[in-house]
């Protein structure tokens, strides 16, 4: 448990710095940026205090906001996906989640992709809706959401495979 | 009373979510309204410091192009200097040097963080209040304009880039004195829009757009870009002009901060405080 906590703390800071210094500057094709810092929310230990989890997600988003001068858009998106995580977990993993015995590294690959995809899509949709803040450019919002989500999803899967410790 | 407390305890995660979501929404709305985005910005001790140390490293990858830009500028200035000797203007400049030297104060700064892919882009500089940088100073490069400083901390400053949908800058045609406002529609990082140009103005493709003398922020005549295309508005009174920027906003390193020392005087004259 203790190593899980340290892991989460390290992940929190490393992901914020990586987002601010690397991923905000990728600008693939000029305008597509991935946001793999959501990995913190996705991989947070399941059976921990929910209020704490929501608060930490808020802080995560707020730090990214401070770095990228975007008001509170990341914070809003992070809080929302942190709040809607349990139902999504239930949808994606079914019985495993009911028994509270879920460990991400033991889950099936397909289930994990569905789980990542739903949360990343919702995160990006809220993010770009609030960032552009103009209902008349809804097509731009959807376009950005789609492309950034694919990019983020690929990076998230790569990272979760690369950095999973195999000794269980 | 008991029931209220029970309700709060039962729904505490939902209430916490609502509270935090409300806070972030408030911050978002604040950042969208022009003069208020004070709390969440990258011109503070922590993020400024991190960006500065990161840019210390990444600067090395960009040295060649930046050298090229500096050489080009030196070249331009030197040719200006040499060609000025036999012009009658040089005498005037020499006699009245106190005026030319005093109106605009220039200092250099380095870009330590640059955004251009969002709809509201900001740039962070490594100069702040302790270097005499204040809000509402102009930021330019050797090629053209960059933006206006909108927030400062002790050691860092944040620039409202011209690639920001909130930005509005007074600009004019180089060929005539017809003025308009420079805005950005968020579409492309090398095109900005000039609106409210009178239909009597001689607008021509390829003409140069420069900053106007109407604002007390930018000196008059700083180059902005060239006219790519233009359309007459639906109302039929004004042109909307697509301007291609001289500056490559995606590759900024050394910039100049320009302070108009008369800005206060001009503003006081224009807006007498009668509230």
A2-22 pLDDT, tens digit per residue, is 777 888 888 899 999 888 888
User: Is the predicted pLDDT of residue A122 greater than 90, yes or no?
Assistant: yes
> Binning pLDDT at 50, 70 and 90, where does residue B206 land?
confident
Give yes or no for a contact between A68 and B117, defined as CB atoms under 8 angstroms apart: no
CATH number, domain B103-270, options 3.40.50.1820, 3.30.1180.20, 2.30.110.10, 2.40.10.340: 2.40.10.340
**Averaged pLDDT for residues B244-260:** 87
Q: pLDDT, tens digit, for every residue of B43-84? A: 777 788 888 888 888 888 888 888 888 888 888 888 877 776
Q: Which residue of B has its CA nearest to A16?
A: B47
> Binning pLDDT at 50, 70 and 90, where does residue A144 land?
confident
Portion of chain B with pLDDT greater than 90, in percent: 4
**Averaged pLDDT for residues B88-116:** 65
CA distances to A13, A106, B129 from B145, rounded to whole Å, are: 36, 55, 21
User: Residue A96: what pLDDT?
Assistant: 66
- A64 contacts: CB under 8 Å, gap ≥ 6: A16, A19, A20, A35, A37, A70, A74
How far, in Å, CA of B68 to CA of B78, rounded? 15
For B:102-121, CB contacts with A below 8 A are 115-120
Query: Phi, psi at residue A108, to the nearest 5°?
Result: -75, 150
Q: Is B125 helix (H, G, I), strand (E, B) or coil?
A: strand
How far, in Å, CA of B181 to CA of B162, rounded? 12
Which run of H or of E encompasses A127?
Answer: helix A109-132
Minimum mean pLDDT range among A123-132, B235-244, B259-268: B259-268
Q: pLDDT, tens digit, for every residue of B11-49? A: 888 888 899 999 988 888 887 775 555 666 667 777 888
**Averaged pLDDT for residues B100-119:** 79
Query: Phi, psi at residue B227, to the nearest 5°?
Result: -75, 125
Give yes or no for a contact between B237 and B198, defined as CB atoms under 8 angstroms apart: yes
Q: Which of A67, A72, A83 sits opposite B28 (nearest CB)?
A: A72
Instruction: State the first-to-last Cα distance of chain B, in angstroms, to the nearest integer.
Output: 48
**Averaged pLDDT for residues B116-124:** 84
How far, in Å, CA of A80 to CA of B14, rounded? 10
Q: Where are the domains of chain B?
A: 2-61, 103-270
How far, in Å, CA of A7 to CA of B234, rounded? 59
Portion of chain B with pLDDT greater than 70, in percent: 88
Contacts A80 to B, Cβ<8 Å? 17, 21
User: Is the predicted pLDDT of residue A121 greater than 90, yes or no?
Assistant: yes
How far, in Å, CA of B164 to CA of B119, rounded? 6
How far, in Å, CA of B203 to CA of A148, rounded? 39
**Averaged pLDDT for residues A63-86:** 88
**Averaged pLDDT for residues A39-54:** 84
Tell me: ipTM over 0.90: no
Q: Which residues pair with B171 in a beta bridge?
A: B180, B211
**A99: its two tokens:** 């028994």
> Binning pLDDT at 50, 70 and 90, where does residue B96 land?
very low
User: Is the predicted pLDDT of residue A50 greater than 60, yes or no?
Assistant: yes
How far, in Å, CA of A7 to CA of A1, rounded? 10
Mean pLDDT, chain B, whole residue set: 82
Mark yes or no for CB contact A24/B186 under 8 Å. Answer: no
Q: Is B120 helix (H, G, I), strand (E, B) or coil?
A: strand
Q: Which of A61, A132, A133 sits opposite B24 (nearest CB)?
A: A61
Q: Which residue of B has its CA nearest to A83?
A: B17
User: Residue B32: what pLDDT?
Assistant: 75
User: Residue A105: what pLDDT?
Assistant: 67
User: Is the predicted pLDDT of residue B97 greater than 60, yes or no?
Assistant: no
**What's the residue count for chain B?**
275
- A146 contacts: CB under 8 Å, gap ≥ 6: none
Q: pLDDT, tens digit, for every residue of B129-186? A: 888 888 888 899 888 899 999 888 888 899 999 988 888 888 888 888 888 899 988 8
Q: Is B225 helix (H, G, I), strand (E, B) or coil?
A: strand
Mutate to test the interface with B, among A57, A60, A72, A130 (most CBs of B within 10 A): A72
Tell me which residue has tokens 């006699």.
B95
Q: pLDDT, tens digit, for every residue of B231-250? A: 888 888 888 889 999 888 88
User: Residue A125: what pLDDT?
Assistant: 93
User: Residue B12: what pLDDT?
Assistant: 85
User: Is the predicted pLDDT of residue B274 greater than 60, yes or no?
Assistant: no
> Binning pLDDT at 50, 70 and 90, where does residue B90 land?
very low
User: Is the predicted pLDDT of residue A77 greater than 90, yes or no?
Assistant: yes
**Averaged pLDDT for residues B88-101:** 46
Query: Phi, psi at residue A150, to the nearest 5°?
Result: -60, -45
Q: Which of A33, A62, A140 sits opposite B117 (nearest CB)?
A: A33
Tell me which residue has tokens 């529609």.
B185
Mark yes or no for CB contact A72/B24 under 8 Å. Answer: yes
Higher pLDDT, A102 or A114: A114
């Amino acid at each position: 448990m203790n190593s899980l906590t340290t892991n989460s703390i390290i992940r929190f800071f490393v992901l914020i710095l990586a987002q601010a210094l690397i991923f905000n500057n990728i600008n693939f094709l000029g305008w597509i940026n991935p946001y793999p810092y959501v990995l913190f929310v996705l991989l947070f230990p399941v059976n921990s205090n929910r209020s704490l989890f929501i608060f930490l997600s808020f802080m995560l988003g707020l730090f990214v906001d401070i770095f990228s001068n975007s008001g509170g858009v990341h914070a809003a998106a992070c809080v929302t996906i942190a709040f809607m995580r349990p139902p999504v977990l239930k949808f994606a993993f079914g019985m495993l989640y009911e028994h509270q015995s879920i460990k991400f590294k033991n889950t099936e690959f397909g289930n994990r992709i569905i789980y990542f995809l739903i949360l990343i899509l919702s995160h990006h949709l809220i993010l770009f809706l609030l960032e552009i803040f103009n209902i008349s450019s809804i097509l731009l919002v959807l376009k950005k959401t789609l492309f950034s989500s694919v990019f983020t999803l690929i990076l998230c899967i790569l990272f979760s495979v690369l950095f999973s410790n195999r000794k269980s | 009373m008991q029931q209220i407390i029970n309700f709060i305890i039962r729904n505490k995660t939902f209430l916490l979510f609502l509270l935090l979501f409300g806070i972030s929404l408030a911050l978002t709305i604040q950042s969208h309204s022009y003069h208020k985005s004070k709390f969440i910005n990258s011109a503070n001790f922590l993020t400024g410091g991190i960006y500065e140390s990161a840019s210390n490293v990444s600067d090395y990858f960009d040295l060649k192009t930046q050298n090229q830009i500096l050489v080009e500028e030196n070249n331009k200035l030197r040719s200006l200097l040499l060609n000025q000797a036999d012009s009658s203007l040089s005498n005037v400049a020499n006699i009245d040097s106190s005026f030319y030297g005093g109106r605009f104060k220039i200092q250099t700064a380095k870009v330590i963080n640059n955004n251009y892919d969002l709809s509201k882009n900001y740039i962070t500089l490594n100069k702040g209040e302790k270097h005499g940088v204040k809000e509402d100073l102009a930021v330019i490069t050797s090629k053209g304009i960059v933006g206006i400083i909108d927030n400062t901390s002790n050691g860092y400053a944040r620039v409202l880039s011209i690639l920001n949908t909130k930005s509005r800058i007074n600009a004019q045609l180089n060929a005539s004195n017809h003025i308009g406002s420079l805005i950005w529609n968020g579409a492309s990082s090398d095109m900005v829009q000039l609106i409210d140009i009178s239909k009597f103005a001689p607008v021509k493709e390829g003409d140069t757009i420069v900053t106007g003398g109407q604002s007390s922020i930018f000196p008059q005549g700083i180059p902005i870009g060239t006219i790519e295309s233009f359309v007459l508005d639906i109302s039929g009174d004004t042109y909307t002009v697509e301007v291609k920027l001289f500056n490559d906003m995606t590759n900024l390193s050394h910039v100049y901060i320009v302070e108009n020392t008369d800005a206060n005087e001009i503003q006081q004259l224009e807006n007498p405080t009668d509230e």
